[in-house]
Amino acid sequence: MSTTTVTAEQLSDVLQDYQIHLTGGESIPVQQSHSAVVGNPANWPTDRNRIPPYRPINRHLDMEQRPLGSNAFENAFLFAMFSGVVANASIAKFWGKTLGPVFPGLFKYSIGGEW
């Protein structure tokens, strides 16, 4: 078995390629949300970590800024993906209201180290 010796200078030369270099002084304009000044409602949870601040629904979105896809293939893929999510949720609700109470553990599988 052979060993390779790397000097500190060689290591710094390799790591130099991964240094972050900020170029230019231009700043990217950030669009301010219409809800930037709205505070959290009284029932907003504060007992959990990493919950973002409350933002009310923006009912004046410009849908041109959020295209569904750039071509027909992407449109079909996104439609199929989101339709599958809706179908899965609908079937889960149906199962929970019909035969789910009769067979409670039929479609539950342990994940990781669970029993």
4-38: per-residue pLDDT in tens? 777 777 777 777 777 766 666 555 554 554 445 46
Buried b (16+ CB within 10 A) or exposed e, 57-75: eeeeeeeeeeeeeeeeeee
pLDDT at 94 (0 to 100): 93
Name the residue ranges covered by the structural domains of the chain.
8-99
54-106: per-residue pLDDT in tens? 888 888 888 777 777 788 899 899 999 999 999 988 998 999 899 988 888 88
Cα of 15 vs its chain's centroid, Å: 30
pLDDT at 51 (0 to 100): 84
Q: What is the pTM (predicted TM-score) of this model?
A: 0.38
Q: Which residue has the higher pLDDT, 43 or 19?
A: 43
pLDDT at 35 (0 to 100): 45
**Which single residue is written with the structure tokens 């002084």?**
25
Q: In this structure, are residues 80 and 69 in contact, taking their beta carbons and an 8 Å threshold? A: no
